[in-house]
Structure formats: C-alpha cells, structure tokens
Amino acid sequence: MLKIENLHVRVAGKEILKGISLEVRAGEMHAIMGPNGAGKSTLGNVLAGREGYEVTQGTVEYNGSNLLELEPEERAAEGVFLAFQYPVEIPGVNNTYFLRTALNAQRKRRGEAELDSMQFLKRVREKLAVLQLKDELLHRGVNEGFSGGEKKRNEIFQMALLEPNLAILDETDSGLDIDALKMVADGVNAMRAPQRAFLVITHYQRLLDYIVPDFVHVLADGRIVESGDKTLAHKLEEHGYAWIAERKLAGAA
Amino acid sequence: MASALLESLLDEDALRAAEAGVPAAAAAARHASAHAVLRDGLPRARDEAWKYTSLRALEQRRYANGDVDVATRAVDAGAFKLPGIDGARLVFVNGAFRADLSTLPVLDGLVTSFADDGAASLPLARDRDADSAESRAEAFVRLNVALAGPGLVLRVAAGVHIDEPVHLVFAGAAAEADVAWQLRALIEIGAGASLRLIEHHVAASANAHLGNLVAHYALAAGARLDLVQIQDAAAATTLIRRNGFRIDSDAMLSMHTIEAGAQTMRHDLCVDLAGRGARFVSRGVFALRGRQHADTHLVVTHAARDTASDIAWRGVADQRARGVFHGAITVAKGADGADAQLSNKNLLLSPQAEIDTQPALEIYADEVKAAHGATVGQLDERALFYLRSRGIPLDIARRVLVGAFCNAMFADLAPTPLRAHLEALLATRLPQAGAAA
C-alpha cells in the first residue's frame, strides 16, 4: 500500500528526515517510536501533504502511484488520513458542516454519490457512539472549546467517519488519561480491517498495550535505526531511547 | 479654483434654489456651508482624516445635482426586499423619497415626517454640523448642508417599543447623467423607548452616482437602538455616509454593519457616549474586491462616567481592493469607570490588496478599562491544511475560512432570516469556489 524509499525531507532549510525506507501493506499496523525531535511528526505531515516540507530525495509510492505529487485533499480522497498531534480549532466553522463537506468532497472526487443529510447523520450517530462523544460537539465550531481529550477523540471520530485506507496517528495518545486512551484504542481497533493500514506515531509504549502493532520502528535523528515486532516497544520502555543511541554508536564504530 | 465636482454642483442656480423658501436661519446655514466648501475644496491626503482615501478622481467628475426625474425611475422592489422584513419601509431613490415604493409606519408612538427646510429643521444636526464643518475635512457635511432636500425625521415617543424593524432603503437607479444626491436624516428615540432600524443601500440598476447621507441619532435616557447597516450599493458608485450618535444615560446602541458594495466608500461613525452608563456595541465587516476602496472612520467619545464601548470590526480585501479602518476612542476627563474595547482584524487575500488599520486610544480619566488591537494577516495555514487534509479542496477551504472569519461578527444576532441574508450576501463577495486561488 505504502512504500517509502530513502526519503529525505527538509523543513525551514534543516534536514529532518535523512533517508527513511518503510513498507506498509494493507491490513498492517505499524508503530513509529522515537525520542522528541527524531522526525516522527515530520513523517506524518509529509505523508499528508503539508506545505513547508521539502522532499529533497527519495520516493513515496501509495497504491502504485506517486503520493508526493498529490494535493492534500487528493490524498484524503485516495484514503490517506492524518490524525493531528495538535488538532486545529476553527471557530465559526460548524463541525457538522465541516464533516459533511469533507466526506462529500471525498466521495465526489472518487465518483461516488454524495450523502444527503439523513444518510450523513445516521452515519455520524453510529460513529459518535463508539468514541463516546456527545452529539452536542457536532453543533460547535471545529474543535472549538474542546478539551485536549475531546480533540483527540474527535480526530479518531473523523477517521471512523471518513474510513481511510491508510490512517496515520500522530501522537494521538499524548495528553490523554487512561479512559480516553482506551476509547481511542477501541476506536482504532474497531477499524482494523484487511484492506486498511495504520501508522501509529507515538513517544510512549503505553498506547501499544491497547493497539497492538505488527511492526515497531524506532526513528532517531531522521533515520529508522531499529525495526522489530511488538517486543521492541517493551525493550524501549525498559531501556529508554538512550539504549538505541548506544547501539547506534556501537554499530557506527 | 473649484474642482469640476464642486462647479457642477454649486452653481448660482443651485445655490439660489437651495436658499429659496426655507427659514432665514436655514438659508444662512446653506449659504455659509456652500461658500466654505467652495473656498476650501475637498479634503486632501494631508488632512489626517483622509490620509488613505484620495478624492482626486472624484474631484474631476461632474454630476447632475439631484435627479429631476426620480419619480419615474423604475425600481423593482425585489432589489431591496429582505427576508422576514415586512413592516414599515421608507424607500429613497437617488436620494429622494418615493412614497409609491414605501410603506409608511402606522405605529403608535412612531412619527415619520419630511422636513423640507433642509438643515435648519434638524436642530441637533445643525449644532453638531456647525462644530464639525469647520474644517476642510468636513467638506461632505458642508455639501450636504448646502444642498440636501427634504430630510427624513423619525421620532419614537418616550417609553414606546418598536419591535418590528423599520427598513430604510437607499436605492441607486440609472439616470441620463450620473447624479449626486444629498440626504439628511434625524432619528430621535425618546426616554426608555426602543427602535429596530435597518439602513440598506442597494442598486436598483447599475449606476455611478455619488451619494452623501448625513444621519443624526439621538438616544434619550434608557433608550435602545438596534441598527443593522447593509451597504450593497452599485459597483461603480461613490457613497459617503456620516452617522452621528448622541447616547444619553443608560441608553444603548447596538449596531451591525456590512460594507460590501460601492466603488469608493467612506463611512464616518461619530459616537458620543454623553450620559452616565451609556453603551455602544458595534460589529462590522467589510468585504472588498476588484478595485473597491472602503474607508471606515470611527470616532467614539466617552464623555460621562461608567460608559462602555465594545467595537469589533473585521475586514477582507481581495484582488486590488483597499480597506481602511480608523478607530479612535477618547475617554474624556471625568469619564471615570469607562470601559473601552476595540478590536480590528483583517485578512489580505491577495498580494495586491491593501488594508490600513489605525486604532487609537486616548484616556484622560481614572479607573478606565481599555484595550485595543489591530491585525492584518493572511489565512491561517494550519486551519487551511486541516480542512484540506480531510478532503476539502483548497478553494472551498479558503471560502469556508474567510466566511467564518466574517460571520463571527454576526454571531450575537438572533438566527433570523435577516442574519442568514447577511451571511449569504457576504458569501457572494468572497473568493468563489472554482476561481483561481
């Protein structure tokens, strides 16, 4: 589904990603872990198409075509979804209007029929229940006045509604209490499917107790320095990121 | 040497006609004003209040002095109908009252009349204009005093509540020549009374007229005025408006303003918080494109204790448009306990657009709460990316964000068909989906 090869990315003149290669197949759950400043969020943003991220080398193939050529809205319609680390508050843009506009814009681009408001609301109600979000949030501005936990749950709710093929979760666990963390994990697990892949970016191993990954990759200083199965996350938790740095140094020497 | 504009309007015949048949004091006021404007001409860029609005092009134009055939101008009521507004309606076409298009109010305690002796019938107006018309910067007030025809007078008796909005329509209609019209209005709201009023500028047909409206409002103690101003004049017009307000103790003025039309627009808002506990709330938006020029000039004086002003305006300029916002608040000596809030936020949607904003606050009293701020910026890239990342195309995302930015100024209006109309009107002035970004 997603094939990243030797990806180099520069942000504000500084090289952040220094040659990442990663392959994600349909149905897989990949976790990207790493210390602060390793480039984890950069990876999520560059895949979603944010401006200001300059790809200087390498390729990203998504379902056989060049993902980097697509506008952010085209990527969304093709099934790429980024759950933001810091969801943006947009006062004055009604949440329901926003979601319906987004969903129907995606459907239109895919040549599917747009949903009328009855069909749309039915779908919304189903998904809200999973995340235990209140109806009332729909009538507010996008993320306006949401608590930190509500914002993160709202991201997962949007994901559930938009049903992407490739979901990238950028530190969705940060700032969540244990109850909210479980709700988020339930929302993600409910969406695991053979045709869908996940890239879960996180700083802590905690989330991975609830969302069990097939693969864990450690990102440090713009490179994937270690890949393994879910046990790698536990090793990291035990030894800390310094352990990776030491191993890297040993490898270099 | 007078400009082409003033020559075309203030010839001997026009001056004689304006001074004929009015009381001596009015004739004297007209005479003095006409000669003052002929002597001093129009404001220049070096007049501080006109720093950002050049009148050089206007000066070179000639206009017919009023529209002699105004009674027969075809005007379709569809041009000014507002959803949900079906009460009293006073329609002025090219500055002249058209009874056939109007529905005069038949409400106890609301009196409508037309003072046919121009300036002098409006005592409040005369007092204020005598002060303000002393400088060249007030050339349009001078012109108005010199030439205005029968003025509108609206009076609400003490204690009377007029809940159904009174709709004032100022329609421009094409004529054989471009017309300059002058109109005065005096609106008085008695003690403890209230009025809802809509000031609505529209195009009945494409025209390039010059409109000059001077309105004076007096709110007696405990009165309330809810004023909605919708300026959607024809694209080629020049529109000059001065709204003066005197607000007595515990009276309240709440206004919402949209500036969307006209080629060149100047709007002076002079608010005098004259009595203890007087309050003023203003929300406004200008949405400009093409080569539109809109200059909003707000001057608020806190003259009494415990007065409050709360002003928030937003501006959007696209293409080569230019917006100007001047917001000056003075808290006079002795106006202790005043609360003055002024915010002006603007969005530039094109590299060729320009917005100049000048908030100014002068405080001479004690225990004053005051805040003012102004920004000019671009659309929030983070919000834009957020919308796009969910599949919303760039052009729609931009429209959604600019619309939300503007509509925030109407958030405190009840969700009526009128509010929906304001939002829909603004939407027609924002970058269109499908247009090049």
Residue range A87-100, pLDDT digits in tens: 999 998 999 999 99
The span from the first CA to the last CA of chain A, in angstroms, equals 36
The DSSP string of B116-144 is TTGGGG-HHHHHHHHHHTTSGGGHHHHHH
Mean pLDDT, residues A185-214 taken together: 93
Residue from A188, A205, A215 nearest A35 by CA:
A205
Q: Does any CB of chain A come closer than 8 Å to the CB of residue B433?
A: no
Contact present, A23 and A4 (Cβ < 8 Å):
yes
- To the nearest whole Å, the CA of A98 is away from the closest chain B CA by 8
Cβ neighbors of B27 (< 8 A, separation 6 or more) are: B19, B20
Phi, psi of B289 (to 5 degrees): -155, -175
- CB-nearest to A88 from B383, B403, B408 is B383
Q: Is A67 helix (H, G, I), strand (E, B) or coil?
A: helix
Q: Chain A partners of B386 at a C-beta cutoff of 8 Å?
A: 84, 87-88, 90, 142
* Cβ <8 Å between B396 and A105: yes
User: Which of A99, A100, A101 to substitute to test the interface with B, most B CBs within 10 Å?
Assistant: A101
Q: Token pair for residue B187?
A: 């609106």
Task: Classify residue A66: in a domain, yes or no.
Answer: no
Q: Token pair for residue B21?
A: 């048949």
Phi, psi of A227 (to 5 degrees): -130, 150
Cβ neighbors of B75 (< 8 A, separation 6 or more) are: B91, B93, B98, B101, B171, B173, B204
- Count CA atoms within 13 Å of residue B397 on its CB side: 23
The secondary structure element, H or E, covering residue A106 is helix A95-109
Quote the crossing angle between the two packed helices A95-109 and A148-162, to the nearest 10°. 30
Give the pLDDT band (50/70/90) at residue A26.
very high
Task: Classify residue A143: in a domain, yes or no.
Answer: yes
Helix, strand, coil percent values for chain B (each to nearest 5) = 25, 40, 35
CATH number of residue A244's parent domain: 3.40.50.300
The secondary structure element, H or E, covering residue A191 is helix A178-191
Contact present, B186 and B122 (Cβ < 8 Å):
yes
CA distance B21 to A36: 84
Rg of chain B, C-alpha, whole Å: 21
Chain A residues within 8 A (CB-CB) of chain B?
48-51, 71-73, 75-77, 81-82, 84, 87-88, 90-93, 98-99, 101-103, 105-106, 109, 141-142, 158, 162
Quote the crossing angle between the two packed helices A117-131 and A95-109, to the nearest 10°. 110
CA distance A41 to B225: 53
Give the pLDDT band (50/70/90) at residue A54.
very high
Q: Which residues pair with B379 in a beta bridge?
A: none
Strands A166-170 and A80-83: parallel
Q: Does any CB of chain A come closer than 8 Å to the CB of residue B213?
A: no
Q: Chain A partners of B434 at a C-beta cutoff of 8 Å?
A: none
* Cβ <8 Å between A71 and B394: yes
For chain A, give the number of residues.
253
Q: Which residues pair with B162 in a beta bridge?
A: B195
pLDDT the model gives residue A236:
84
CA distance B314 to B126: 33
Give the least confident one: A39-53, A143-157, A195-209, A234-248.
A234-248
Q: Does any CB of chain A come closer than 8 Å to the CB of residue B52?
A: no
> Is the alpha carbon torsion for B118, B124, B125, B127 positive or negative?
positive
Q: Which residues pair with B70 in a beta bridge?
A: none
Residues of chain B with pLDDT under 50: 119-121, 123-129, 131-132, 436-437
Q: Token pair for residue B51?
A: 């720093």
pLDDT the model gives residue A130:
77
Q: Does any CB of chain A come closer than 8 Å to the CB of residue B378?
A: no
Cβ neighbors of B50 (< 8 A, separation 6 or more) are: B43, B44, B137
CA distance A233 to A201: 12
Q: Which residues pair with B156 in a beta bridge?
A: B110, B189
A103 CB burial (10 A radius; 0-12, 13-18, 19+): buried
Mean pLDDT, residues A216-239 taken together: 90
Nearest chain B alpha carbon to A88: B383
Q: How many CB pairs under 8 A join A and B?
A: 78
Count of domains forming chain A: 1
- CB-nearest to B391 from A77, A88, A142 is A77
Q: Is B37 helix (H, G, I), strand (E, B) or coil?
A: helix
For residue B395, count other CB atoms closer than 10 A to its CB: 16
User: Which of A73, A115, A155 to substitute to test the interface with B, most B CBs within 10 Å?
Assistant: A73
* Cβ <8 Å between A71 and B386: no
> Is the alpha carbon torsion for A139, A143, A145, A147 positive or negative?
positive
Strands A65-66 and B64-65: unpaired
Q: Domain range spanning residue A224?
A: 28-45+75-252
Q: Does any CB of chain A come closer than 8 Å to the CB of residue B114?
A: no
- To the nearest whole Å, the CA of B429 is away from the closest chain A CA by 18
Contact present, B418 and A119 (Cβ < 8 Å):
no
Give the pLDDT band (50/70/90) at residue A70.
very high
- Count CA atoms within 13 Å of residue A126 on its CB side: 12
> Is the alpha carbon torsion for A210, A211, A216, A217 positive or negative?
negative
User: CA distances (Å), A84 to each of A143, A171, B164, B388, in order?
Assistant: 12, 8, 48, 13
Q: Chain A partners of B411 at a C-beta cutoff of 8 Å?
A: 92
CA distance A13 to A52: 10
User: CA distances (Å), A86 to each of A184, A200, B163, B389, in order?
Assistant: 15, 15, 46, 13
- CB-nearest to B390 from A71, A76, A109 is A76
Q: Chain B partners of A72 at a C-beta cutoff of 8 Å?
A: 385, 388-389
The overall pTM is greater than 0.80: yes
Instruction: Give me chain A's average pLDDT, please.
Output: 92
Residue from B308, B309, B304, B362 nearest B334 by CA:
B304
Nearest chain B alpha carbon to A98: B387
Task: Classify residue A21: in a domain, yes or no.
Answer: no
Q: Domain locations in chain B?
A: 4-275, 379-437
* Cβ <8 Å between A77 and B400: no
